[in-house]
């Protein structure tokens, strides 16, 4: 509907009579400010506001298809108030002030706007304010440090290279201006501000009980998601900004990195040691020292004489290479440096206002920077990977892309550096680095991802980025940057990863063992490997000049503990991969706070119902490290309910409360009653096919179910139907247990020919009577695991009936 006609109808309503109508958006104007409200999807309200005109309808985070979808708005008009309702969300607009209160699907207030048109300043900035509920907790904003619950804090969105950051450091590497509030009752809503400029979120730090969102420039363009459950909010946010792709399965394997393995011989020795130590692994990373003078897209031929042979030989051991490629291209005209020459010939580097290339000091010395806001520059960048891809390199690591600049106080480029936007549905224009800074890393990783997809259309790309913006989860995994080897960083790092998952980024990890600072103690390194084995991205990394901290470093006892946990991760790969595939469809993260699966725990109060210290992997595994990781003192674990199981022993637990005595050899892991966990025989790499049967560990309880997902792990064939997906349920009765295998989807033929069922919580020493396909099946009892063991053929569909008595 045209704006003028809307304004005319508003004028006609002045008499005050209520009447209703339907439209696809509401546009109002007061005092030179224009407001637009629309509903791009069920449970989502979009609000845009500008001075004189609406901001451009374009985004680096939300694709055009998501922005341009508009559900019908039912509009009820009064003299001063408009009431809007759409699918599962609504709004109330004060026509005098343009204040917009967002309501849930039943008309309950979610977010009260206390600013309206006065939020816009005359200088181009804005400040929005809203009242917060007293029992709300706030999560998200990416990998910010501070408290796990953001309430009471203030945070700045400005991508920054923060070496050895602390609990008080802000800003950090990423800008993800999305948060979710969750009440003690487990009810949630989310807010995403789609603005790439420097912004600040204040959750009652400056003004108690008040939410304040301010920016130095850019649009007022935000989305409110009505939930009502935390998972609903995440799925609504994924509806806008996209889900992560299904990464290659090897990305779930253990990944060994260091700045730097400096020679071909050293890389080969690391790979050989991983194999000889029986440390399952899939990736070795190569940092900047493989390059010629730290120049991206070069190789030092003296230390790495044959990259193709190195990649091929390691691939034969089940190990892939991932290479770093930073965005700083050496400023080296006339030196035969192909990356510079190609970019300069196409005029693709960022410039100063005077027209000359901007040059800043980074690892290669003076460097220039691609203008990734131009589709031509992204395509050129992506094509630079052709040589490495041809050599068999499997993935790429985009670091230093905040962008980081040495020897300047700001640690980045000047704000007046000129970007030329020529991309997507943006109107072509020039703009300043002040607008593009926070999205530079996201566009860098996008260029890499899209280039790899063009070069190998049937191979899943793997990209790891340090800096990014909302929506960047569509292109790359990420990690938390230059952490420190300390117990505090280990604890903080887990909370960072959980909040990243609550911000749309599921493929996340931190540098296992710590990147910088004093070297880790043997116990700290071991504990980090234990927790790392449950992170979505499991990568050990450390800076140069430190003692070695690979998993085999130290005494035999510590090494064996690390080996056991890395091996357990590989046994859990069927569960992890099924969870990753679910994430690629739903946006629900792999690593979750307890309240995401069990919202009611927040009402318990103490340490967010355990969510500050505990976390879950998928829907079924709960990890409960000590609240003070370095302490030898006993601690209490409050589980979300009764009848949970000990993962390591299979024993059913009494009660919700468990007292744990810390032991460096153990990490408390619990299983949801009703879980069905698939596991596989141990392999040393995802490149190797497991031998034997698939294990299904059944933990009887309410809502008993689990999922299998499998495909070839590397190609895009799953998008063409070459996958296996199967839902499994169990039904418990007084007479026994029935395991139901629902009909499989997809055409993928799995590696297993049979299934071994472990029915946990089996108290009898006598095996059960079992029937599958109507025939009797032999069973036994594993007394150590308190489990009945049953071997059955591969179950395409059908049921297994287990009797409690013989």
Banded model confidence at residue 19, pLDDT cuts 50, 70, 90: low
| pLDDT above 50 (res 5) | no
User: Measured between alpha carbons, how far is residue 252 from residues 139, 432, 497 in Å?
Assistant: 25, 39, 15
155 vs 606, residue with greater confidence: 155
Percent of the chain topping pLDDT 70: 97
- Give how far Cα 87 sits from Cα of 39, 84, 225, 227, Å: 8, 10, 12, 12
Rounded distance, CA 521 to CA 174, Å? 30
- Buried (b) or exposed (e) across 179-190, using 16+ Cβ within 10 A? bbbbbbebbbbb
Q: What is the mean pLDDT of residues 145-153?
A: 96
Mean pLDDT of 44-67: 97
Q: What is the pLDDT of residues 538-549, one digit of tens each?
A: 999 999 999 999
403 prior amide bond cis, ω within 30: yes
Closest residue by Cα to residue 586 from 248, 243, 246, 245: 243
Q: How far apart are CA 790 and CA 695, in angstroms?
A: 10
Determine whether 402 is an active site residue: yes
Place of tokens 């940092």: 287
Average pLDDT of the chain is 95
User: CA geometry: angle at 650 spanning 649 and 652, to 5°?
Assistant: 115
The residue among 637, 599, 616 whose CA lies nearest residue 136 is 599
pLDDT band at 15 (very low <50, low <70, confident <90, very high): very low
Choose among 681, 732, 160, 42: nearest CA to 400.
160
φ, ψ dihedrals at 220, nearest 5°: -90, 100
Reference 374, options 349, 342, 399, 401; nearest CA is 349
Structure tokens at 505: 């980024």
Pairing of strands 635-638, 657-660: antiparallel
208 and 248 in contact (C-beta within 8 Å)? no
Closest CA to 401 of 175, 179, 241: 175
Name the DSSP letter for residue 432.
Answer: E
pLDDT at 14: 39
Q: Are strands 99-104 and 136-140 parallel, antiparallel or unpaired?
A: unpaired
Tell me what pLDDT residue 609 has.
67
pLDDT tens digits, one per residue of 425-464: 999 999 999 999 999 999 999 999 999 999 999 999 999 9
* Range 67-75 average pLDDT: 97
Rg (CA), the chain: 27
Candidate from 618-627, 723-732, 762-771 with smallest mean pLDDT: 762-771
Which residue is catalytic, options 402, 435, 695, 711? 402
Determine which one of 399, 550, 643, 707 is catalytic: 399
pLDDT, residue 786, reads: 84
Does 87 have pLDDT greater than 80? yes
pLDDT digits (tens, 9 = 90+) for 281-318: 999 999 999 999 999 999 999 999 999 999 999 999 99
Cα separation, 102 vs 228, whole angstroms:
13
Query: Using CA atoms, how far apart are residues 263 and 218, in angstroms rounded to an integer?
Result: 47
pLDDT at residue number 804: 77
Contact by Cβ (8 Å): 659, 720 = no
pLDDT score at 734 = 86
Strand 178-183: give its sheet, edge to edge. 26-30, 33-41, 44-51, 220-225, 188-193, 178-183, 136-140
The CA distance from 34 to 597, in Å, is 40
Catalytic residue selected from 136, 221, 435, 482: 482
Is the separation of the CB atoms in 202 and 132 below 8 Å? no
Chain center to CA of 156? 20
Q: What is the pLDDT of residue 140?
A: 98
Residue 534, token pair as written in the block? 């449950």
Average pLDDT over residues 121-149: 93
Q: 773: pLDDT confidence band, cut at 50, 70 and 90?
A: confident
Question: If we measure between CA atoms, which residue out of 323, 337, 257, 261 comes closest to residue 293?
Answer: 337
Phi, psi of 514, rounded to the nearest 5 degrees: 90, 140
Burial class (CB in 10 A: 0-12, 13-18, 19+), 362: buried
Element (H, E) at 274: helix 264-276
Interval 666-675 mean pLDDT: 98
Per-residue pLDDT band at 805 (split at 50, 70, 90): low
- 11 class by beta-carbon count within 10 Å (0-12 exposed, 13-18 middle, 19+ buried): exposed
Q: State the pLDDT at residue 7.
A: 37
Please choose, from the candidates 649, 643, 697, 655, the residue with its C-alpha nearest in 3D space to the C-alpha of residue 669: 649
Whether the pLDDT of residue 16 is over 80: the answer is: no
The mean-pLDDT minimum among 51-60, 380-389, 396-405, 757-766 falls in 757-766
* 422 labelled catalytic: no
Give the chain's end-to-end CA distance (angstroms, integer): 73
Q: What pLDDT is stored for residue 785 in this prediction?
A: 83
CB of 612 within 8 A of CB of 635? no
Q: How many CA atoms lie within 13 A of 728 on its CB side?
A: 28
Q: What is the mean pLDDT of residues 487-501?
A: 97
């Amino acid at each position: 509907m045209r704006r003028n006609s809307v304004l005319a109808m508003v004028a006609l309503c002045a008499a005050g009579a209520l009447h209703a109508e339907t439209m696809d958006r509401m546009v109002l104007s007061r005092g030179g400010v224009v407001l637009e409200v629309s509903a791009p999807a069920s449970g989502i309200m979009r609000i845009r506001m500008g001075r004189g005109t609406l901001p451009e309808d374009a985004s680096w985070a939300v694709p055009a298809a998501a922005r341009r979808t508009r559900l019908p708005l039912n509009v009820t008009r009064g003299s001063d108030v408009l009431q809007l309702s759409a699918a599962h969300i609504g709004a109330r607009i004060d026509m005098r002030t343009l204040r917009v209160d967002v309501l849930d699907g039943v008309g309950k207030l979610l977010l009260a706007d206390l600013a309206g048109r006065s939020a816009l300043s005359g200088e181009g900035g804005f400040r929005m304010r809203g009242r917060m509920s007293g029992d709300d907790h706030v999560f998200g904003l990416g990998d910010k440090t501070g408290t796990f619950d953001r309430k009471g804090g203030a945070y700045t969105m400005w991508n920054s290279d923060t070496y050895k950051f602390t609990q008080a450091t802000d800003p950090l590497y990423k800008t993800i201006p999305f948060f979710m509030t969750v009440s003690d009752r487990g009810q949630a809503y989310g807010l995403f501000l789609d603005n790439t400029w420097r912004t600040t979120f204040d959750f009652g730090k400056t003004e108690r009980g008040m939410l304040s969102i301010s920016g130095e420039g850019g649009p007022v363009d935000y989305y409110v998601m009505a939930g009502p459950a935390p998972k609903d909010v995440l799925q609504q946010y994924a509806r806008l900004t996209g889900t992560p792709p299904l990464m290659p399965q090897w990305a779930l394997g253990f990944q060994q990195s260091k700045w730097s393995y400096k020679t071909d011989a050293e890389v080969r020795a690391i790979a050989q040691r991983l194999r000889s130590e029986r440390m399952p692994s899939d990736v070795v990373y190569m940092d900047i020292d493989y390059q010629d003078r730290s120049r991206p897209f070069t190789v030092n031929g003296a230390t790495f004489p044959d990259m193709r042979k190195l990649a091929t030989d390691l691939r034969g051991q089940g190990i892939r290479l991932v290479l770093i490629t930073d965005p700083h291209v050496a400023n080296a005209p006339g030196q035969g440096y192909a990356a510079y020459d190609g970019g300069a010939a196409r005029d693709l580097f960022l410039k100063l206002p005077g027209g000359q290339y901007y040059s800043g000091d980074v690892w290669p010395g003076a460097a220039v920077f691609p203008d990734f806001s131009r589709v031509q520059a992204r395509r050129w960048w992506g094509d630079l990977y052709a040589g490495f891809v041809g050599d068999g390199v499997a993935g790429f690591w985009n670091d230093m892309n905040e962008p980081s600049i040495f020897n300047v106080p700001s640690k980045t480029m000047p704000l007046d550096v000129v970007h030329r936007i020529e991309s997507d549905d943006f109107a072509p224009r020039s703009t300043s680095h002040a607008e593009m800074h926070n999205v530079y890393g996201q566009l860098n990783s996008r260029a890499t991802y899209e280039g790899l997809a063009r070069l190998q259309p049937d191979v899943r790309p793997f990209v790891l980025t340090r800096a990014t913006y909302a929506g960047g989860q569509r292109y790359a995994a990420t990690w938390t940057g230059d952490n420190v080897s300390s117990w505090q960083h280990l604890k903080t790092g887990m909370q960072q990863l959980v909040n990243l998952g609550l911000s749309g980024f599921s493929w996340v990890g931190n540098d296992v063992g710590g990147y910088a600072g004093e070297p880790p103690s043997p116990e700290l390194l071991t504990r980090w490997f234990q927790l790392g084995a449950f992170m979505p991205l499991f990568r050990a990394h450390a800076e140069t000049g430190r003692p070695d901290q690979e998993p085999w470093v130290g005494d035999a006892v510590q090494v064996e503990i690390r080996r056991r946990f890395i091996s357990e991760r590989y046994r859990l790969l069927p569960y992890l991969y099924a969870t990753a595939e679910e994430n690629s469809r739903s946006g629900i993260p792999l690593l979750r706070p307890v309240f995401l699966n069990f919202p009611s725990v927040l009402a318990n109060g103490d340490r967010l119902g355990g969510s500050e210290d505990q976390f879950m992997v998928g829907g079924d595994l709960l990890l409960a490290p000590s609240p003070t990781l370095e302490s030898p003192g006993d601690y209490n674990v409050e589980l979300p309910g009764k009848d949970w199981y000990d993962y390591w022993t299979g024993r059913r637990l009494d009660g919700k409360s468990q007292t744990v005595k810390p032991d460096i050899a153990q990490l408390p892991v619990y299983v949801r009653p009703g879980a069905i966990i698939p596991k596989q025989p141990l392999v040393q790499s995802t490149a190797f096919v497991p031998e034997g049967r698939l294990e299904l560990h059944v933990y009887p309880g309410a809502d008993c179910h689990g999922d299998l997902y499998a495909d070839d792990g590397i190609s895009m064939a799953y998008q063409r139907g070459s996958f296996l997906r199967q839902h499994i349920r169990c039904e418990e009765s007084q007479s026994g247990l029935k395991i139901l295998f629902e009909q499989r989807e997809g055409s993928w033929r799995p590696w297993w020919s049979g299934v071994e069922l472990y029915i946990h919580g089996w108290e009898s020493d006598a095996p059960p009577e079992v029937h599958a396909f109507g025939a009797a099946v032999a069973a036994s009892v594993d007394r150590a695991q308190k489990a009945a063991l049953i071997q059955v053929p591969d179950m395409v569909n059908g049921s297994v009936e287990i009797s409690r008595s013989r």
